[in-house]
């Protein structure tokens, strides 16, 4: 009876498929898609139409702008819409995200209480918006949280103490708000992994908790510009991993603890504008890594010993507005890194564009002089970054006008990130700001720069040759701009480069052979340009290459067999060109390949059978070529995770292999306009049959 019912069920379902297949679609609306569309519905302005153009049920959610999916389950794990200029509110439902990054937008309203339901959330970055209200108490229930950043908003109220019990948290960043109240006495008892505590520029008050010394991994403590008071306890000396200590513009009293000598990793010590008394402990001058010492405008006294010259890494020394006696030790001028930044007091920069200033080197200043002067310290890096601003003809959202000022530390400028160790600019991210202008030569002076992202703007002109001096650069994104002309050969000087993104520009000419010198390159993206010539054979010598994207250019010639030497290659995307010849047999030896796309070319010959044995491959796209030959009988035996197989528009003949049913993860199959024979089902048919066979299998095992 069960077998008869099973046969009837199978027949009925197949009949239903035949009748309804024409009405079925390939759209798979997942929970993640619905959650993201809920977010989109809360956005009232998307001036660059990033979401309108990308977020569509017609494409996989994993291909949407800002979305990253996990490699295992293909569920959305991260949403990054940092700076992309969207307006609206944070949605109440965000799904099972692990990362939510909405930094640098125009979000309004309050932080929704429902965020506490996102139990898997590890990173929440909603800084640089216009959020108001309190920090919800429920945020403290997110026990997987590692990074919590809500800087530069309009938040009020006190910080919920429960947040200081999230044992996995590494970064707490609430700077630039109007938060009040005090810190709990047990501050660090529940924070064993805390590395960064950013609370500067608020209205926090009270004494520094002695329990702070229990944050043994703490590297950055930024409490400047608050209303903290009381003495600095000797327990501070237990924070041996501390690299940056910013306590300026508060009401701290007492002396600088002798135990500060234990801060052997300290790079910046800033205690300006407090009520600290006594002398500067001689032990400070044993901190050999110290680059910034700022204790100006306190009540410090005594003389400065010659030992101060042992701070060989010192770059900035600010001692003015105290009651020191004696003279400044002359040995200090042997420290080359200071470059005149000893007690530099400037009149206010009258015209930042032309950098007009008057500098006076002073050791002590009277109260009368003090009231007429303001402090400014203009570094080479500030000049380099500021020169970029001077070349920008349009900044419609005023990101730079409002943030880039010599009155604040360059490390607090929008788009600028400084290294935690040396406090030098190591990242400049101006992407998606709708900026218009040229790139000046001065950024070549940012010698500590590791990451430079100028993508999705309206820069034009040539890339300055001085950029070839950025020898520490690892990440360079110049995509979606308006660059023209040839691709500079000086890219070959960037030996540390790992990611180079030049996509969606108007570059012409050939790919320089000097690219072979970038031996650490992992991603090379030059898609959608007007690049001509052949794919250089030397690309195959980039043994660390994981992604090669040359889609949508004017490349000719054959696919170089040397590409098979790039054994780590995961994505090879060379479609929409004018490539000729065969697909090299060696491509099948790239066992790490996940995406192989050679569509819309003029390739001939048969498809190497070895390609169908790349066990990690997820998408194979050969559409619109002149490929011939047959498909292997064991087509899907070696493709356990294949999701897309695109063969349409070729000259492939023979039977469609029955092994196609072994492609259990297949979602899209395109094989029209060939000479194939035999009966096979479309994607919907495969999905339906899988359900049927699974159900039949369950019945037979009962």
The burial class, CB within 10 Å (0-12 / 13-18 / 19+), for 433 is buried
CA dist., res. 12 & res. 46, Å (int): 48
Regarding whether 430 and 509 lie in a shared domain, the answer is yes
Regarding whether 559 and 442 lie in a shared domain, the answer is no
CA dist., res. 534 & res. 164, Å (int): 58
pLDDT value of position 457 = 82
Regarding whether 591 and 468 lie in a shared domain, the answer is no
CA atoms within 13 A on the CB side of 624: 9
280-286 long-range contacts (CB < 8 A, ≥24 apart) are 280/256, 280/304, 281/255, 281/256, 281/257, 282/307, 283/258, 284/256, 284/260, 285/310, 285/311, 286/261, 286/310
Regarding whether 485 and 426 lie in a shared domain, the answer is yes
Domain end marker among 157, 175, 193:
175
CA dist., res. 74 & res. 67, Å (int): 11
Contact 521, 545 (CB under 8 A): yes
pLDDT value of position 386 = 67
The DSSP call for residue 310 is: G
Regarding whether 683 and 555 lie in a shared domain, the answer is yes
Q: Kindly give, in sequence order, each residue whose CB lies less than 8 Å from that of residue 553, ignoring residues fewer than 6 positions away.
A: 526, 527, 528, 529, 530, 531, 532, 576, 577
Q: Is residue 360 part of a domain?
A: no
Q: Is residue 624 part of a domain?
A: yes
The DSSP call for residue 342 is: B
Which one, of 647, 696, 638, 698, lies nearest residue 676 by Cα? 647
Domain end marker among 499, 532, 565:
532
Regarding whether 118 and 80 lie in a shared domain, the answer is yes
pLDDT value of position 199 = 93
Report the DSSP pairing between strands 675-677 and 668-670. Answer: unpaired
Contact 464, 440 (CB under 8 A): yes
Contact 121, 144 (CB under 8 A): yes
CA dist., res. 623 & res. 646, Å (int): 6
Contact 178, 157 (CB under 8 A): no
pLDDT value of position 361 = 31
Q: Is residue 473 part of a domain?
A: yes
Contact 445, 380 (CB under 8 A): yes
Regarding whether 607 and 503 lie in a shared domain, the answer is no
Mean pLDDT by 10 residues, the chain (702 residues): 37 36 37 67 62 68 75 69 71 75 83 84 87 91 91 92 92 92 91 92 92 90 92 85 90 91 88 91 87 86 84 80 76 65 33 29 34 42 68 73 71 80 79 77 69 84 78 89 83 90 89 88 92 90 92 92 91 93 92 92 92 92 92 89 90 88 84 77 46 42 41
Q: Is residue 324 part of a domain?
A: no
Regarding whether 603 and 487 lie in a shared domain, the answer is no
Provide the residue range defining the domain that includes 145: 22-175
Number of domains into which the chain is organized = 3
Report the DSSP pairing between strands 277-278 and 299-302. Answer: parallel
- The distance from CA 601 to its chain's CA centroid, rounded to whole angstroms, is 34
3-state secondary structure 437-497: EECCCHHHHCCCCCEEECCCCEEECCCCHHHHHCCCCCEEECCCCCCEEECCHHHHHCCCC
CA dist., res. 339 & res. 359, Å (int): 13
Contact 594, 616 (CB under 8 A): yes
Q: Is residue 6 part of a domain?
A: no
What's the angle, vertex CA 136, arms to CA 130 and CA 139, rounded to 5? 110
Q: Is residue 341 part of a domain?
A: no
Regarding whether 487 and 522 lie in a shared domain, the answer is yes
Q: Is residue 83 part of a domain?
A: yes
112-151 core/surface letters (b: 16 or more CB in 10 A; e: else): beebbbbeebbbbbbbbbebeeebbebbbbbeebbbbbbb
Regarding whether 520 and 406 lie in a shared domain, the answer is yes
pLDDT value of position 630 = 92
Q: Is residue 501 part of a domain?
A: yes
Find the length of the chain: 702
List, in sequence order, every residue forming a beta bridge with 228; answer none if it has no partner: 206
pLDDT value of position 379 = 59
CA dist., res. 175 & res. 244, Å (int): 15
The burial class, CB within 10 Å (0-12 / 13-18 / 19+), for 166 is buried
Domain end marker among 532, 567, 589:
532
What's the angle, vertex CA 343, arms to CA 342 and CA 347, rounded to 5? 120
Regarding whether 507 and 640 lie in a shared domain, the answer is no
Q: Kindly give, in sequence order, each residue whose CB lies less than 8 Å from that of residue 582, ignoring residues fewer than 6 positions away.
A: 558, 559, 603, 604, 605, 606
Which one, of 595, 594, 515, lies nearest residue 551 by Cα? 595
The CATH number that applies at residue 594 is 3.80.10.10
Regarding whether 572 and 488 lie in a shared domain, the answer is no
Q: Angle, nearest 10°, between helix axes 683-700 and 2-20?
A: 170
pLDDT value of position 390 = 67
CA dist., res. 209 & res. 228, Å (int): 11
């Amino acid at each position: 009876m069960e077998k008869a019912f099973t046969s009837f069920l199978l027949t009925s379902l197949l009949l239903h498929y035949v009748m309804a297949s024409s009405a079925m679609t390939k759209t798979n609306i997942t929970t993640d898609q619905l959650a993201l569309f809920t977010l989109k519905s809360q956005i009232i302005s998307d001036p660059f139409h990033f979401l309108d153009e990308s977020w569509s049920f017609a494409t996989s959610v994993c291909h949407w702008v800002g979305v990253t999916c996990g490699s295992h389950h293909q569920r959305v794990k991260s949403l990054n819409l940092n700076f992309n200029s969207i307006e609206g509110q944070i949605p109440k439902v965000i799904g099972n995200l692990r990362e939510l990054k909405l930094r640098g937008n125009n979000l309004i309203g309050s932080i929704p209480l429902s965020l506490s339901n996102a139990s898997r959330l590890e990173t929440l970055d909603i800084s640089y918006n216009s959020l108001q209200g309190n920090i919800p108490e429920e945020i403290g229930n997110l026990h997987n949280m590692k990074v919590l950043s809500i800087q530069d908003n309009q938040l009020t109220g006190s910080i919920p103490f429960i947040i200081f019990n999230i044992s996995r948290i590494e970064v707490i960043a609430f700077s630039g708000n109007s938060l009040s109240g005090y810190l709990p006495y047990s501050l660090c008892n529940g924070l064993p992994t805390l590395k960064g505590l950013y609370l500067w520029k608020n209205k926090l008050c009270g004494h520094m908790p002695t329990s702070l010394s229990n944050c043994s991994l703490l590297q950055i403590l930024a409490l400047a510009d608050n209303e903290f008071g009381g003495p600095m306890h000797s327990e501070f000396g237990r924070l041996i991993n501390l690299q940056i200590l910013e306590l300026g513009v508060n009401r701290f009293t007492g002396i600088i603890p002798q135990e500060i000598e234990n801060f052997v990793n300290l790079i910046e010590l800033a205690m300006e504008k407090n009520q600290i008394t006594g002398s500067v402990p001689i032990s400070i001058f044993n901190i050999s890594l110290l680059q910034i010492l700022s204790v100006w405008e306190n009540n410090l006294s005594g003389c400065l010993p010659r030992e101060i010259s042992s701070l060989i890494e010192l770059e900035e020394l600010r001692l003015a507005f105290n009651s020191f006696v004696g003279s400044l030790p002359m040995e200090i001028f042997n420290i080359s890194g200071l470059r005149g930044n000893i007690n530099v007091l400037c009149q206010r920069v009258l015209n930042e564009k032309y950098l007009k200033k008057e500098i006076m080197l002073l050791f002590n200043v009277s109260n009368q002089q003090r009231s007429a002067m303001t402090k400014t310290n203009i570094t080479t890096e500030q000049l380099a970054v500021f020169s970029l601003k001077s070349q920008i003809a349009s900044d419609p959202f005023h990101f730079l006008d409002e943030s880039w000022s010599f009155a604040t530390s360059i490390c607090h400028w929008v788009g600028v990130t400084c290294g935690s160790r040396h406090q030098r600019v190591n990242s400049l991210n101006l992407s998606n700001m709708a900026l218009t202008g040229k790139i000046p030569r001065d950024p070549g002076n940012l010698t500590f720069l590791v990451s430079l992202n100028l993508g999705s703007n309206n820069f034009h002109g040539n890339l300055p040759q001085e950029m070839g001096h950025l020898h520490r650069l690892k990440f360079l994104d110049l995509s979606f701009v308006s660059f023209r002309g040839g691709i500079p050969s000086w890219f070959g000087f960037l030996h540390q480069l790992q990611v180079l993104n030049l996509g969606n520009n108007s570059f012409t000419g050939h790919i320089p052979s000097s690219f072979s010198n970038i031996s650490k390159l992992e991603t090379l993206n030059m898609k959608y340009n007007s690049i001509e010539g052949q794919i250089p054979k030397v690309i195959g010598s980039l043994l660390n290459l994981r992604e090669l994207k040359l889609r949508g250019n004017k490349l000719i010639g054959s696919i170089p067999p040397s590409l098979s030497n790039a054994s780590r290659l995961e994505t090879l995307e060379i479609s929409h060109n004018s490539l000729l010849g065969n697909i090299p047999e060696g491509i099948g030896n790239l066992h790490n390949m996940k995406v192989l796309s050679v569509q819309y070319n003029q390739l001939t010959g048969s498809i190497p059978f070895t390609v169908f044995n790349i066990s990690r491959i997820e998408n194979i796209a050969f559409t619109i070529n002149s490929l011939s030959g047959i498909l292997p009988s064991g087509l899907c035996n070696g493709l356990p995770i294949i999701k897309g197989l695109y063969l349409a528009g070729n000259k492939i003949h023979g039977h469609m292999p029955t092994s196609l049913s072994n492609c259990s993860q297949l979602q899209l199959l395109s094989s029209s306009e060939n000479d194939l024979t035999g009966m096979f089902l479309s994607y919907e048919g495969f999905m339906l049959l899988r359900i049927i066979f699974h159900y039949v299998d369950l019945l037979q095992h009962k």
